[in-house]
Amino acid sequence: MQSQKSNKMWGGRFEDGSDMLMQAINASIGFDQKMAEQDIAGSQVHAEMLRAQGILTAQDEEAIQSGLRQILEELRAGKFEFQVELEDIHMNVEARLKDLIGEPAGRLHTARSRNDQVANDFRLWVRDHYDLSIDAITALMRTLLDQAKQGVDWVMPGFTHLQTAQPVTWGHHMMAYVEMLGRDLSRMKDGRERMNECALGAAALAGTSFPIDRERTAKALGFDAPCANSLDAVSDRDFALDFLNAASICAMHLSRLSEEIVIWSSAQFRFVKLSDRFSTGSSIMPQKKNPDAAELIRAKIGRIMGANVALMTVMKGLALTYSKDMQEDKEQVFDAAESLLLSLAAMTGMMADLKALPENLQAAAGSGFSTATDIADWLVREKGMAFRDAHHVTGAIVALAERQGKELHQLDIKDMQALCPDINDNIYSVLSVENSVASRTSYGGTAPVQVRAQIARWEEKLKE
């Protein structure tokens, strides 16, 4: 394959153009054009700072700002023509600026490098997607709070090992996911705060000899401060890894909820009914209503967690500072962020439409001897029995019910007294799932009074 000469902006050092294969592997404009608006925002602030410091004339700055505004309009109108031979978004914007305003365009790159420019663009992009993710997680939490309020006292089976364990409430189950997403929200906010430092001014790696004002640039772009070490500023991608880690854990939580929706909506469970808007049919089986939205959300964790592993692998062996390997940092982050936002939006819509079926939940709540622990607790509380002894007696009662093919509340008192003479009719008071649930009044328990308190706590927190 023949090499191709082109007028590269770094071409003073090179006599020949790049081989076409080199151009193909080197160009990033196919994906980093997503950072176009962030790139222009950084350039606008950089130009303003250069003028304020006397490095640019007011006339040159005015020309640069005018050209950048026109480029932004072209980008938003879809009229900007990206050129692969110009490699990346920075050189595409700069080349277009030169077409528009001529010589002053070349002065914009004073006191900066593509190294600090791309690091800063990427920081701005990730920060924007932290904000979008925070909003999307909050919206889903509010939807789950609505579900919890609706079913605060609907009894349902709680599971361990996907086997019936103890009765809980629908509201309590929904609030478990509110707690998970609350931690996701905290991680997103924490990551955003930690990464909010400006890389511009680090230049290639060592800073610059020009009298720039990095604090001014940082403040204008909404950063808390400039990065304190120029080497770290251009080579750090922790902010992207932090985001991917938070996104991976959030996607894992969405996957767990998706799995429950798949199970609950099956004919064998019939705990919930999905809306048509978030279901699909079968091309051959007319009776089918498939929970495809939940299944697709469940699968997104593979892409998002894969992005986390991919970027960690890219970064793990890189000496300071910038290496071209780091061009492979963006596609995974872009894809992961978009996958997470889509998943959160789809889950919010699906949960808003989802209808729990209280009758079916209640019918299942008492199955599988779910109130057995309440018998043991009653023996301890009312008869002063050691818990291990009470556990043994309860196990014998469960075995009796299993042999007779009955639920616990259907057993005859005389049959239970044959196993434990201390048992009296009062034991039936703890065998109903409603009483079992109502008795779990410890902080964080499933009693409706506790669930209402947690709903109120989260509603207040989300107002903040």
Residues with Cβ within 8 Å of residue 244, at least 6 apart in sequence: 304, 307, 308, 311, 332, 333, 336
> What is the token pair recorded at 235?
């080579």
β-strand pairing of 225-226 with 272-273: unpaired
| 309 vs 311: CA distance, rounded Å | 6
Q: Is 161 a catalytic residue?
A: yes
Phi/psi for 422 (5° steps) reads -70, -15
Is the separation of the CB atoms in 401 and 411 below 8 Å? yes
- Which helix H or strand E contains 334, and what residues bound it? helix 330-353
Pairwise CA distance, residues 187 & 442, whole Å: 28
| The one catalytic residue among 161, 209, 283, 442 | 161
For the record, the structure tokens of 135 come out as 């909003």
Does residue 172 have an active-site annotation?
no
Which residues neighbour 284 within 8 Å (Cβ) at sequence distance 6 or greater?
A: none
With a CB cutoff of 8 Å and minimum separation 6, the contacts of 281 are 288, 289, 290
Task: Return the number of other C-beta atoms located less than 10 Å from residue 283's C-beta.
Answer: 7
HSE, side-chain direction, 13 A CA sphere, residue 251 = 28
- Rounded to whole angstroms, the Cα distance separating 390 from 375 reads 8
At 447, the amino acid letter reads: A
In angstroms, rounded to a whole number, what is the distance separating the alpha carbons of residues 134 and 138?
A: 6
Measured CA to CA, the distance from residue 257 to residue 232 in angstroms comes to 39
Instruction: Indicate the SS3 state at residue 440.
Output: coil
Catalytic residue among 3, 282, 323, 429: 282
Q: For residue 357, which of 264, 230, 263 has the smallest C-alpha distance? A: 264
Give helix then strand counts, H and E, for the chain: 18, 6
**Burial (Cβ within 10 Å: 0-12, 13-18, ≥19) of residue 59:** exposed
Catalytic residues: 161, 282
